[in-house]
Chain A
Amino acid sequence: MIEVKVDSVRVNLVGTHRVVILKELHSERYLPIWIGQAEAESITLQLTNTKVPRPLTHDLIVDAIRALGATVRYVLVNDLRDETFYARIVLRTRDGKDLSIDSRPSDAIAIAVRVGCSIYVDDDVMAQHGHEPEEESTEEQQEEDLGAFKDFLSTLDLDDLDKK
């Protein structure tokens, strides 16, 4: 399991879908997950500490978990099948028993940001679907990239410059 944090929630201007970017805690690798508008709003409102007059659905779920004496241990994005991500919410009951509940990642994340628990991604899911940001180019690569200009420069006869 790889621990991640919510890096950002991004808006697709042509559709109603949103993308939540989960970034690995100790690396630059990230995992984008498409989520619905309502869930994205719920995550965003919580991350921006926006007070809402009435409890949203995820606030209600967190209230219920707490009222029943349970806690959220962590959430885990554990699978991707047929282009759909799967997640689990791991609860610890009042009696100290752990329960793993099937959830969409969006709901799991909306709950995680409210209770402040860890968010994990399964190693295989991250290995197969995580993205690395574009590498900063090294000096060698930069020289290669400049090849065309170098070639041009070497064709110039600079000795001629002063002559007229």
Chain B
Amino acid sequence: MVEMLIESIRVSLMTNSQVIILREMEGKRRLPIFVGKPEGDAITLHLNGITAPRPLTHDLAASILKSLEADVNHIVINDLRKQHFYAIIVLQPSGDEEAEITLDARPSDAIAIAVRVGCPIFVAEHVLEEAGVEPVELGSTPSKEDLGAFSDFISSLDLSDLDKDK
């Protein structure tokens, strides 16, 4: 399992969907996950510190878990099948260190709850291998080959002419 951070939430201007970009905590891989608008909004609102006047559905979920004295241990995006991500929410009922309860969830719901209770977000390694993306590296010194067109141009200039009067 690889621990992830929420890097950003992007809104598609063409459709109603949003994309959550998770970033590896100790690495460079990113995992983009499409989520529905209500779930995307629920995550964005909370991350921006906006409290709705009335509890949103995920606020309710978090408050029910708290009232029933269950801690959310962590969430895991644990599978990808037919282009659908799967997730689990791992609960730990209070007073029972041994017991763990695993709930099947959509990643969007799991993440919306994770940000509310402040628990870690994990992704299974095989999911990250299959669907993770690495950012394109930008080298600091461009190689001579990349600059080929410019060097050709520069070498075609006759710099000895520069000082001469017209």
Contacts and interface: CB of A to CB of B under 8 A. Distances in A.
Q: Do A and B truly interact? A: yes
A58 B54 contact: no
- Chain B interface SS verdict (over half): mixed
Count class of interface residues, chain B: 20 to 34
Interface residues of A, number: 28
Contacts of B32: none
B101 interface: yes
Interface stretch (A23-31, A65-73, A118-126): A65-73
B70 A68 contact: yes
B157 to A, nearest CB: 63
A60 interface: yes
B95 to A, nearest CB: 11
Interface of A: 36-39, 53-55, 57-58, 60-61, 63-65, 67-68, 70, 84, 86, 89, 91, 93, 99, 101-104, 107
Interface of B: 36-39, 53-55, 57-58, 60-61, 63-65, 67-68, 70, 84, 86, 89, 91, 93, 101, 103-106, 109, 112
* Nearest 10 CB-CB pairings of A with B: A38-B38, A68-B68, A67-B101, A57-B57, A104-B54, A99-B67, A54-B106, A61-B61, A107-B60, A57-B109
